[in-house]
Amino acid sequence: MEPVIIIGAGLAGCEAAWQLAKRGVPVELHEMKPQRMTPAHHSPDFAELVCSNSLRSDQLENAVGLLKEELRRLDSLILSCADAHRVEAGGALAVDRHAFSAAVTEKIRSHPLITVVEGEVTALPAEGNVIIAAGPLASEGLTAAIHAAFPQSATLNFFDAAAPLVSFESVVMDHAWFASRYDKGTADYINCALSREEYFAFWKELTAAQEAEVHGFEDKSVFEGCMPVEVMARRGEDTLRYGPLKPKGLKDPRTGREPYAVVQLRKDNAQGSVYNLVGFQTHLKWPEQKRVFSMIPALKNAEFLRYGVMHRNTYLRSPGFLNRYYQVKEAPRLMFAGQITGVEGYVESTASGVLCAIELARRLEGKAPADFPQETAIGALALYISNESVTDFQPMNVNFGILPPLGYKIKGKREKNAAISQRALDALAGLIIQ
């Protein structure tokens, strides 16, 4: 059997390679790192988590929690490595990003049916089955090749941002405490309180701070799911207090009351020596990040181990261009997977790699498609990005809104979502997938 060519060893590419190889399909995995890095990448390892180290909620009452459970039941490489290298984060699945990526890299490189080829791909292979999983940071050469081959697909751009990291030992705990919101789970977050006066002083400086130059950047070009904190702040003086700085469910043990605002820090490695500022994606100039974020009392002496950065993300006009199997309609031997398809998020990218690989393996074996139904989170994502009736197409996180309604009423949002999740898992169990 000729190997399937996969371009890109990110989350989707590694997952697709793993799913194909475990089904006996040889894979040739191309990765441009470490020969060529992007401004957002720092490690030569595969499946690098560029932004947050969180894979978000792990609860079945949440759509991304359902998606993770579906992936676990399909023997996802990404989820198994994430579970093995998780760090405590309340009800979320967060990981030690370096240990996680190293584990994925070792699994991929050691598999006998996966051959890793280093170097940038600047032309689409002329024959054979190809999965383009280059991610939203696809190189200019590869993006140009996609444009040349499919000018009507007209790739779109938006801007994404990453949050800064600080050392734990530099956090002033006199102004912070460990807790999870509403005391849910274990006390995994460092909560940094701000009084009303401190908040408004911080907010004022944040809205006026100098931004780094990003070619073509405008506020309207920012994806809502990764809104830079300074862009969010400009929307109104209370926007942050109803977003990443909301104090609800967080009582300061020194006062017994909720502060006016709270900045949360989440553990970024297993040792607990590094924390990231939750919701603080930014493209401020680095000296400005130091100046403004140090106005948070608990971070007045903060040692910034990595500053936030902003980068271009690219995604396709997938509706009408891709089908539910992530195949290019006019050239079915070519498939796309990952965020370049318009699925937004680490787990969503992984899911696209799983579906793409399973369906390709079945085609190579002469089997009928699995046809993941819309009742499953995996199937709903694939059907959303291929739905030609979607006219204003933008990157989409998984959510219960893209799954069909139950058809009957259940009192309570959590109870309704739990029922939708159970229906999804039952539907997944009914599929015959090898």
Residue 216's pLDDT band, with cuts at 50, 70 and 90, is: very low
Cβ–Cβ under 8 Å, residues 341 and 318:
yes
CA distance 107 to 11: 13
Residue 392 has pLDDT above 90, yes or no: no
| Contact (Cβ atoms closer than 8 angstroms) between residue 285 and residue 349 | no
Contact 82, 373 (CB under 8 A): no
Q: What is the DSSP letter of 141?
A: H
Please tell me the predicted confidence (pLDDT) of residue 315: 86
As a whole number of angstroms, the distance between CA 393 and CA 160 comes to 17
Predicted confidence at residue 354, as pLDDT, reads 98
pLDDT in tens, 72-106: 999 999 999 999 999 988 888 999 999 999 999 99
Average pLDDT score over residue span 46-61: 90
CA atoms in the 13 A half-sphere facing the CB of 147 = 14
Q: Residue 297 gets which letter from DSSP?
A: G
Locate the DSSP E strands across 176-257: 176-179, 189-194
Strands 274-277 and 165-167, sheet pairing:
antiparallel
For residue 223, the model assigns a pLDDT of 59
CA–CA distance, 19 with 10 (Å, rounded to integer)? 14
Q: How confident is the model at residue 43 (pLDDT cuts 50, 70, 90)?
A: confident
Residue 282 in 3-state DSSP?
strand
Eight-class DSSP state of 422: H
CA distance linking residue 314 with residue 145, whole number of Å: 14
Q: Please, are residues 137 and 315 in contact by the beta-carbon 8 Å criterion?
A: no
Token pair 């799983």: residue:
354
* Structural domains of the chain sorted by starting position, each given as residue range(s) with its CATH number in brackets: 4-160+313-429 (3.50.50.60), 165-308 (2.40.30)
Helix (H), strand (E) at residue 100: helix 97-110
Rounded mean pLDDT, 159-179:
90
Task: Show the DSSP H helices in 214-345 as ranges.
Answer: 229-233, 286-293
Residues 6+ apart with CB under 8 A from 248: 181, 258
Whether the CB-CB separation of 72 and 61 falls below 8 Å is answered with no
316 vs 139: CA distance, rounded Å: 14
255 three-class SS: coil
pLDDT value at residue 217: 46
Q: What tokens appear for 320 in the block?
A: 């009408």
pLDDT band at 65, cuts 50/70/90? very high
Please report the pLDDT score of residue 40 as a whole number. 66
Mean pLDDT of all residues in 410-430? 94
The reported pLDDT for the residue numbered 221 is 57
- Give the pLDDT mean for 228-257: 94
C-alpha dist (Å) from residue 197 to 158, 188, 193, 201, 290: 35, 27, 12, 6, 20
Share of the chain above pLDDT 90, in %: 69
pTM comes to: 0.77
Strand pairing report for 261-267 and 130-132: unpaired
The pLDDT of residue 4 is 98
The mean pLDDT value for 177-196 works out to 91
Q: How far apart are CA 354 and CA 72, in angstroms?
A: 11
Write out the two tokens for 170: 């530099």
Strands 156-161 and 27-31: unpaired
Please write the tens of the pLDDT for every residue from 134-157.
Answer: 877 788 889 889 989 988 776 777
Give the pLDDT confidence score for residue 333 in this predicted structure: 97
pLDDT digits (tens, 9 = 90+) for 259-306: 999 999 999 888 888 899 999 999 899 999 999 999 999 999 999 988
The pLDDT score that the predictor gives to residue 270 is 82
Could you report the per-residue pLDDT of 326-361, keeping only the tens digit for each?
A: 999 999 999 999 999 989 889 999 999 999 999 999
Task: Write down the pLDDT at residue 247.
Answer: 96
Q: Identify whether the C-beta of residue 322 lies closer than 8 Å to the C-beta of residue 42.
A: no
Q: At 183, list the tokens.
A: 């005391």
DSSP sequence for 106-133: HHHHH-TTEEEEES---S--SSS-EEE-
For strands 4-7 and 27-31, give the pairing: parallel
